[in-house]
Amino acid sequence: MEVYIPPKFRNIFKFEEFNSVQSALCDEIFYSSRSLVVSAPTGCGKTVIFELNLIKYLVDCEKSTTRSSSCVVYIAPLKSLCHEKFTEWQLKFSPTDLKCIMYTGDSEHVDKDQLAKMALIVTTPEKLDFLTKSSDEELQLLPLVQYCFVDEIHLLRDPERGPLLEALVTRIKAISNPRFVCVSATMANSEDLATWLSVPSRGAVFYNFGNEFRPGMVHKIVLGFYRQKSQSIFQFDSVLNYKLASVIASYSENKPVLIFCTTRRGTVQVARDLTKNNHFKTGPMFDKMRSAFAAKIKDPQLRDVLKSGVGYHHAGLDADDRRVVEQAFISGCLPILASTSTLSMGMNLPAHLVIIKNTEQLINGQLVGYSSTQISQMVGRAGRPQFDSNGIAVVMTSSDMKTHYEALLHQNDDIESCLRTKLSEYMNTEIALGVITNLSESINWLKSTFLYVRIKKEPRLYGVPFEERPNCADFYVQDLCMTEIKNLQSLGLVEFNETKSSLMTTALGKLMMRNNMEFTTMRMIWELNGTESLEDLVHFVGCCSELSDISLRNNEKVQLNNLNRARGRHALRYPLNGRISTAPMKIVCLLQAKLGGVPLADFSLENETRRICRCAKRIVNGLAGLLWLDLDDPDSPEEQPSTVKLDTTAPVPTASSAFKCMINILEFKKTLQFLAWMNQPIASLLNLQHLGAPDIEKLMLAGLMTLHSIENTSPSELERILEKRPPFGEQLVDSVRLIPKYILEMEQINRFNRRWV
């Protein structure tokens, strides 16, 4: 360590010697500026690889004669992982001049005053992408990036999130050309990633470390169970529940157990079944600790099973409940935890035994088995070095799949690109940001992506015709660029001058980029006829592709149908016809429930509702932005390019025929801003910061339906109704009196001028 680390930084590490993986990388980190791609088993101390690069960055900054600001960006797929690294590094590097800043979905914009001479920004791909697209000022963050750390780089293969990460890394590479440090425990083609990140001014190298480098070995076992041909995957899953107790007894050695399930419902069922038939002894001290943790849980089902020694964890739980469960498991008082794949990445948990219960899941109506990457991620949670000297992983599958998964446990998948599915959106983004300004630059941009590297390597896999021809990938990329440009042009998102081969964004293209809207949603906007009602717009949001990954689960149908059939105060404003049978119907139902103040008992539905509302705000903000776009103004002095030929119907224009739709869009935007329908009594009180929706409901139940009636009610009576202490009543009356009262006078005229709008 003394050879590489200056004395002032040695206290960062709590050990005196680096392990074999870290030692093998020290020369490359400290005596080279090349980007690094590292594939190493879980537990090899990959966090230290990032920390060594941070020290190299700090040393170089100290040697630098310039005082300009610079930063390191750490990108991780999970907010929990970001929070963990931020907390850890903020403490470790507090004696240095490095300033740690975290930007996740919970934080807003970049505060430039926070960026000191040296800064470490911890963020998720989605947040960094949003920051660089939200304003021109925040785009200037990217040139400051000297190091870019990408944790769990295999996220590239994820169909939903992979395209964004690939486009973001490509953007960072083009604008700032930093030193990339990318790590993963599960990738077979790290060489391809190094090729992608390599540029003429800065090369890239890759390192592959096998399982022999893992500090604590994991014993892997595959158990095959007979599955009847007539059994559905859910019935087989239930059968495996009753096999769990014997598997735990045989392999756990009375140490913590982590059980991975294929569905959220499966985690709950495992916890119920295990607590029903078994009692897990942990001792009086742990029993007391577990009871204290259980008292903090909001979900009554989770609270009950947690007291008995079994917990469950999935993305549908309340975030605070998930944190409590994680803390209980880490503390050692919770012996068994059932989880979906939410805990297979990043989190360091004290699991001695990992059980993968069932290896197939139903996705879009088809049975899909786990990939080697997914299996490897879950197996990697067993026997973490800081908690245990070794671990055991048991895969429970059907008898006919036993041989397949025995082989799968000893191999890794190639990381493939998913950018092709979202190419329209990200090409539009680069054009809107000014990264691409002509056809040649669009081709060069596409050639700088990981997609191009994989097309060259596996042309047939990516559907490249004539893969035997020389340079077939280059011809394919050129055709692909022209196709995407034509697609964007057809919706008026870009202007393309074929003579000059120049590309320029349009106001509509920027609108799509700023609001993170998908290409199919923009196509749907062109199909609006300008007469849509508020109900039509609610259904429009339900059908947008941004929410296409939300599925309708069988166990949700009863509650959703009850919501749809409710009458009285909790009735939906626009009830749906028939039973809830599709995902868009579910989205429409949940969105209306939120806007109507209808309580949801299911935490999973509550979480999905919050996401639906966030997405709906983006979409409706985009729709509202159309009001300021004069796409077809005949008096506009700017000449429209002759090359732009729109082959669609007219979008929502700022013309008299679209007034109804635009008014409803603006009302919908305000509705989503306050998360309440604007036609309800005293809706204007939603603008008061110290008054929440529950308070307004209490006022309405007390018969105070107008601002006038509230003003004429005594402060003490208001405090009694709202169960508040003085001087709340006086403050409320004063606030209500400050709300403007408008009188609108209208006169009908015979002549119309669009410039009055």
Residues of the chain with pLDDT under 50: 630-656, 756-757
Region of residue 530 (phi > 0: left; psi between -120 and 50: alpha; otherwise: beta)? left
Q: Give the CATH number of the domain where residue 441 resides.
A: 1.10.10.10
The per-residue pLDDT for 679 is: 75
The per-residue pLDDT for 120 is: 93
The per-residue pLDDT for 111 is: 59
Cβ atoms 533, 662 nearer than 8 A:
no
The per-residue pLDDT for 651 is: 46
Q: Does one domain contain both 394 and 537?
A: no
Whether residue 457 is contained in a domain is answered as yes
Which of 166, 68, 169, 153 shows the shortest CA–CA distance to 119? 68
Q: Does one domain contain both 506 and 619?
A: no
Cα–Cα distance, 345 to 339 (Å, whole number): 12
The per-residue pLDDT for 752 is: 57
Write down the residue that tokens 């048991």 correspond to: 394
Write out the DSSP string of 40-98: --TTS-HHHHHHHHHHHHHHHHHH-S----EEEEEE-S-HHHHHHHHHHHHHHTTTSSP
The per-residue pLDDT for 22 is: 93
Q: Does one domain contain both 661 and 704?
A: no
Tallying the residues shown for the chain, one arrives at 757
Which of 628, 742, 616 shows the shortest CA–CA distance to 668? 616
The per-residue pLDDT for 647 is: 41
The per-residue pLDDT for 634 is: 38
The reply to whether omega before 727 is within 30° of 0 (cis) is yes
Cα–Cα distance, 76 to 53 (Å, whole number): 16
Q: Give the CATH number of the domain where residue 664 resides.
A: 1.10.3380.10
Q: Does one domain contain both 179 and 261?
A: no
SS3 state at 183: strand
The per-residue pLDDT for 326 is: 92
Write out the DSSP string of 379-403: HTTBT-TTT-S-EEEEEEEEGGGHH
Cα–Cα distance, 623 to 521 (Å, whole number): 10
Q: Give the CATH number of the domain where residue 247 resides.
A: 3.40.50.300
Which of 360, 375, 408 represents a domain boundary (last residue)?
Answer: 408
The predicted model scores a pTM of 0.84
Domain count within the chain: 5
Look up residue 366 and give its two tokens. 């088809």
Q: Does one domain contain both 198 and 72?
A: yes
Cβ atoms 151, 77 nearer than 8 A:
yes
Q: Give the CATH number of the domain where residue 690 resides.
A: 1.10.150
Range of the domain at 705: 683-738
Return the number of other C-beta atoms located less than 10 Å from residue 84's C-beta. 17
Q: Does one domain contain both 30 and 135?
A: yes
Q: Does one domain contain both 186 and 80?
A: yes
Whether residue 748 is contained in a domain is answered as no
**DSSP conformation class of 413:** P
The per-residue pLDDT for 139 is: 61
Which of 213, 235, 258 represents a domain boundary (last residue)?
Answer: 213
